[in-house]
Structure 1
Amino acid sequence: MVQRSVCLCDGKYIGIESIFTVIDGKQINIPDKLSALRTRSRKGELFCPCGCGANLILVAGDRNLRAQHFRLKDSARQHECTAETERPHSIYSKIVLKCWLDEKLNVPDVETRVPICLVGDTARKYEFSFVSRTSKLAVSYSCNRANLSDEKMEILRANSSGIRLIYIVDALNSCGNGQYPEALMKVQERQGYCLLLDVEEMEYSTAKLSVVFYAQDCTGLWREIEFAAGALREFSISEYGRLLYQNAPLAALCEWKKSEFEREVQQEKIRREQQMKELLERPEREQKQRPKRTQTLPVRRPQNTKSERQRAMEKLVHEKEEAGRRAQKKQREEAFRQTLAEQLNQQETQVIDPDGNRWVKCRYCGRVDKTTAFSSYGGRGSVNLGTCKICDRKPVSERRFIQK
């Protein structure tokens, strides 16, 4: 966690992302802004954003690119401070978004972390992540969907008169498990679709963006439908603040994909209804196809036909429920595997999959598997590390070589 990724200077909030830009696709520091902030840092003009009055020092340089932040002066170490921490992933995302806006808008006035009170007439402590008054564009980035409250989004909307507002959410909040995506639906209702940002460390060139919307399929499960995805640099902004993907408006792409999805849902409903109709008509059709006999046959009672129909109905319902359970299980397994590597990096809690199996990573060869493939695992400080049976059978000298 980074405790101070923003400082207060001349009554304005300045995020650490403000010192970055992009030139010819290369993410770099802005010399003028870096020099100006460093000068103000030496003069004691940078203050803690919590309002405690403590002076901050800028920590930035080409040798420490992944830890740029503001820290308290040594004389203020004992100062009572309530500054909130921010995840590094959130800071990296804001840095690449700043580079993206600089490249696509090509204007010099992209401000970071702008309080709403400087744009609208409210005194609430919400903020726009980025604002360009020249382009009349604002961006609200949320690293966690828990921050997508109705109150915040309504205040942002009400205080962005004349400014085009874009909502961007971190890709870790993707919701494709069949459940109702309550938080992301708030964005979809206001924007028409959701923008999911995927950032690897702090590099603009590798940042990705996917555009999705959520809708129910014929079984009632919520589906995440992706209709545009690629590198962040492939997305641009028109002069009217509209988002484009490879020069195609996202709004138009979304409408086309929604129509196609609705058509597929209707076709599937018709197919299922036809299948049900055939199952119900099968006994009567089979009876008509039987050869007639000369002797008098007892009349089949209607109760038998009704019983067969009931069995056919129950079988179809059972198959539908079983298919739903399999789909939900597959979604849970996919969600678990997508986060498996991240879960194994922490050594505080055990990694358990949806079936109750514990997963461990070999400290020597890096193999990831269930505990049945390990000779030993766990322990203080290495809850999710162990020695696999293959490495356990090798000499100690060879294991050390693999580890190097």
Structure 2
Amino acid sequence: MKTTKVPVTMMRAATLLCLAVILCTCGRAQEESVPQTSEELQEALRTRRAELRELTMEVESLESRLAEIDPNFAPNATLVSYETVGTASFDNYAEVQATVRAAESAMATSEIPGRILRMNFEAGDNIRKGQLVAVLDVEGTETQRAELETAASLAKTVYERQEKLWEQNIGSELQYLQAKNNYERIQQQLKAIDIQANKRNVYAPLSGTVDQVFLRTGEAAAPGTPILSIISTSDLQVVADAPESLLTKVKVGEKVGVRVPALGVEFKAPVTRIGRTVDPANRTFEVEVDVPRQYINELKANLLAEVEVLNFQADDLIVVSQDYIQQEVNGQRYVFVAEEVDGDLVARKTYVETGQSFNNRAVIESGLDVGARLITNGARGLTDGQPIALSQSPLQPTEAKLSSNNG
């Protein structure tokens, strides 16, 4: 009985069509959560690539089993996709951990000792400069004033009598001066007591939001002890501790990327201040970035953030996706390129040396030339010299460069 051999191209096309249907079905099932941010899009791309690799391996396994059962389906060559190697620009960013902080902060403190009789604010309350924060018990001061008033009354009587005697040339001048000095000294003490009594009220030194309350009603406050802390939420800063290796990379006025993972907020803003000292404990220096006005209401003080600092930038480099780079047990890295041998296309294993990498992209320093046909999909599982068939929709150099620039 005569059997008909199914063309390899038709079999591959049918396989890829089934693969596309499966991927589209998965895509429709996840339409409810469409990625929006750059981070979400990159994560979705990595997930889809992983799914594609798994499905490709399943297809290859099925093809092998089918070829064992029916030799008519044995493929003559493995169908792969490729892109033509070109040059592209490459940016490498260093990610530095940071914190969102208030531009201004202050403590409301007591100037005199005393027990807190009343607290007017709690954490999170809005507060204006000059508002009454707390009232202290100054009972001891009032007792001292009562005693001084009694002493002042006696001193005044003695002084007035000595003054009259002195006017009548009775008594000594020394007695008169002592009485006068004693009366004036007690008056000064009364004024000092009044000043102390006026300090029973503690006022807000800054407008903003109450961040923390340290003392409560009934607790004792000592001079200089903070009662509550206030932060100004009208201006926020992102403060990062950058390693000293970035000292030459960070400059005032240059824009850096800022990301707040908890809120999914991303923006670019110029560096406003660079610390003049390096922390000897962790070898870092401070980098400050003012938060743009449109994000002030979204962000909160003490949120964790990430700052991206441009660490390396160059043009006309060979840059490829790290998904296409494979690694041997000994650590050597390699890729597969399509090469023509005696009129047939084969996969050629090519060892490469990689340089800097960022965002799933790596710089190829040696081993790969411009114009080479780099095998992309289908490279996993290939062997050196294995016959291949190229997809009819390769990624052209212009498209490859755009893909590299978009990360």
> After TM superposition, is the score higher than 0.5?
no
More strand by share: 2
**Which protein shows a greater Rg?**
2
TM interval, short-chain normalised:
under 0.3
TM-score (norm 2): 0.21
More helix by share: 1
**Which structure's relative contact order is higher, taking Cα pairs within 8 Å and 6+ residues apart?**
2
